[in-house]
Structure 1
Amino acid sequence: MLSRMFSRTSRLRSLTRVSQISVRYKSDGISPRAIARRSSLPNIPNPDTPNKDIDPKNKLEKPEYETGGEVTMPGWKKSFGEALVSVFHIDMDQIRASSISGSKYYYMCKDQALQFKDDQLSESAVFWYNTLGLPRTFAQWYQITVLHVWMLFVRMRSMPFKVGKNYQQKLVDKLFKDIELRLSEEMNVLSGRIRDMYLKDFHSQMIGMVCAFDEGFASESDAYLAYAVWRNIFNGDKNVDIVKLEAVVRYVRMQLYVLDKISDRAFGFGDFEFVAPSETVDPLTAEEEHQLKLATKNKYEPMDRILPPSQRSKLSIDE
């Protein structure tokens, strides 16, 4: 994946495989998780921090719809679909948003802090709940998920307007469809009126978080971004460990750097993954950026000639 760009030990060797490129950002080579573990300050709960969870349970039972499974399509349906795309000149960059942004990218965002009863926490969830000491609540999962959704928003805004807007909309649609399902299936909120009330609250919270993160990202100082993280991830805890706050800011900057280096074509095809909290990134040199562009072209330019119409794209390979 393009999110794994130029590892410290084998940068040039990995250039030949675009799907496994690793990027490192920050010359000190210290991961966000390592930074967060440096502090010896005790985790003191703040009684003034509001409890924004809607359910007293800390861990959720894993529902049936989380089991996943591959979906196969008969050959004749594939052929028929390719013919429709070719005859009617369907814009596949718009169609692809559902499967890439509304499926892959959303599940990447929600899985960062997802946790179920009796299931082992993922590496990223360990960072958020164990290393940073955040509460294992539904509301906290939502806040972490929206943080990752916002980071993808930043990249989608730099795509062609209509395509980027569609990718953002599919991501938001999937987010709230999933929340509505979780409210009814996991939280046992059976009243449609009450679910709608919660959905409106979550939507308002998302708008506020996106605006706050945008302001922090656009500012010249990381202090504004840290303030947004403190309010929306650490819930304005007055006893927050500053070292842990720094770790999250570095984590965000690391992801945004990787997203900045990926082309529209690669990002539009889902060739991105979040860098793990245990990893670090260094800025790419001019030569490494050139090699990255060459590797991207070698992977995607043949698509315009040999692949079926459904796999073609007008998105830029260079930007």
Structure 2
Amino acid sequence: MIRRLHISNIRYFTSCQRISNQLRRNDEKLESPIELAKDSHFPFIKQNLYKKQPRQPTKKAPFLSELEDDPNHIYLTNWKKKLGQFVISTFNMDMDRTRSGPVAGGIYFAECKKQALYYPNEPLSNTAKFYYETLRLPQSFSQQVQIIILHYWILSVRMRCLPYKYSKLYQQKLVDRIFEDLNNRMTIELNIKSGRLLEGNLKDFHTQLLGCVLSYDEGLMTDDITLASALWRNIFNGNENVDVRHVEALLVYVRSQLYVLSKMTDRAFGFGKFKFVPPDQIVQPITKEQEEVIKQKTKEEFQDMTLPSQRSVLSMDE
């Protein structure tokens, strides 16, 4: 279900360095994405995207992540944990491969999903307010999908810098869980019972994902104008009346996430340590010395992880 893109680590980090340099040149004027978006005073012109009002959720589907919040989740007893460690050690299991499921399909899936998640008559999260109140995007299921795809792409840029055999696993696990969740939500929340309609929607979403990844990649490897154009077409639905300041705010948000990811080691990212930076926060560029301090702290953190299930070959230096 995933399209394989061959982008070298060197080109990726060169692009991230370009982002870093842009941030440094403007460090005296740094603003959070929310502050940037609020600078505008243009009148809002509502875009007419739908022939009829889009379906709204009538109930909640299971989140499909964060099992610790599930009262029916079974926790392992000490003897079962010890047995598991014994099995892993005896059969010399590749834990980086095994870990790709719970990390990419659990932690990072949850990060993608919750950014723009909303339910009628429930308060919006601060991040959801950024999309629906600050950027004035429509509250619809299809809009949520576009925002999920954007966050998937941000993560996939970093995933593609992992060793190849783990890179494709992390991407695949994340994509699989996203589409499993979309299917469940359309069935439960939107009450779509037609199998043909569900299949058609999923195919459309998959086509959108491939198109978005291609257009965002082009922007990442060329310039910010191209990336901003891709964000305008996909997130802002090609709205001719969109406030350019809003597009700029989202561009800065994306730049910030990529910059943070470029400073993470493979080991930290592979263990699910990344969280999206909220849009009300500013990402300050760090020096080489600060970057080395972060790497050293990462090494100290993982130094105490000696259980067989905590083994990893992922780098702590890059």
TM-score between both structures, scaled by the size of structure 1: 0.86
Structure 2 counterpart of 1:97: 100
Contact 2:219 2:226 in 1 (8 A): yes
Q: Distance in 2 between matches of 1:159 and 1:288?
A: 23
* Aligned residues of 1:52 and 1:139 also touching (Cα < 8 A): no
Q: Deviations over 1:97-129 (max 9, x none)?
A: 111100110111110000012211001000000
Question: 1:197 offset after TM fit, Å?
Answer: 1.1
Provide the aligned length of Structure 1 versus Structure 2: 288
TM superposition shift of 1:29: 2.8
Distance change >3 Å, CA 251–CA 64, structure 1 → 2: closer
Matched residue type, 2:46 = P
Whether the 8 Å CA contact 1:114–1:125 is kept in 2: the answer is: yes
Which residue in 2 is equivalent to 1:265?
267
**CA-to-aligned-CA distance 1:76-112 (integer Å, 9 cap, x gap):** 3222211111111110101111111001101111100
Aligned partner of 1:12 in structure 2 is: none
Instruction: Tell me the SS of whatever aligns to 1:65.
Output: coil
In the alignment, is residue 253 of structure 1 matched against residue 261 of structure 2?
A: no
What letter matches 2:82 in structure 1? S
Task: Give the superposition deviation at 1:176.
Answer: 0.3
Question: How does 1:38-187 map onto structure 2 within 5 Å?
Answer: 38-47=39-48, 50-51=49-50, 56-57=54-55, 59-63=56-60, 65-66=62-63, 68-69=69-70, 71=73, 72-187=75-190
% identical aligned pairs: 45
CA distance in 2, matches of 1:301, 1:52: 58
- Structure 2 equivalent of residue 14 of structure 1: none
1-structure distance, mates of 2:85, 2:59: 37
**SS at 1:190 equivalent:** coil
Secondary structure at the counterpart of residue 105 of structure 2: helix
Q: Secondary structure at the match of 2:279?
A: coil
State the shift of 1:74 in Å. 2.3
Equivalent pair of 1:33/1:277 in contact (CA under 8 Å): yes
Per-residue Cα deviation, 1:212-271 (whole angstroms, up to 9, x for no partner)? 10001110x210000000000000000110000000001000000000000000001111
The match for 2:315 is: 316
* 1:69 counterpart letter in structure 2: D
SS of 2:62's equivalent? helix
Partner in structure 2 of residue 9 of structure 1: none
Query: Using the alignment, how far apart are the partners of 2:82 and 2:118 within structure 1?
Result: 40
Closer, same or farther in 2 for the Cα pair 1:267/1:116, shift >3 Å?
same
1:238 aligns with 2:240: yes
Q: Distance in 1 between matches of 2:51 and 2:98?
A: 36
Letter in 2 for 1:30: E
Q: Which amino acid aligns with 1:175?
A: I
1-structure distance, mates of 2:38, 2:277: 18
Unmatched tracts of structure 2, length 5 or more: 1-22
Q: How big is each residue's C-alpha offset from its partner over 1:113-153, in whole Å with a ceiling of 9 and x where there is no partner?
A: 00012211001000000000000000000001110000000
Distance 1:195 1:274 in 2: 30
Superposed CA deviations along residues 257-297 of structure 1, whole A, max 9, x for unmatched, are: 00000000000111110001001112111211111111111
TM-score by length of 2: 0.87
Alpha-carbon distance in 2 for matches of 1:176, 1:182 = 10
Matched AA of 1:308: L
Displacement of 1:64 after TM fit? 5.3
Q: Once structures 1 and 2 are overlaid, which stretch shifts more, 88-97 or 60-69?
A: 60-69
Write the letter of the residue equivalent to 1:183: M
Q: Distance in 1 between matches of 2:47 and 2:173?
A: 37
Alpha-carbon distance in structure 1 between the residues aligned to 2:307 and 2:295: 24
Alignment partners' CA distance in 2, 1:52 and 1:314: 52
Supply the RMSD in Å over aligned alpha carbons. 1.8
**Other-structure match for 1:295:** 297
Q: Which residue pairs with 1:18 in the alignment?
A: none
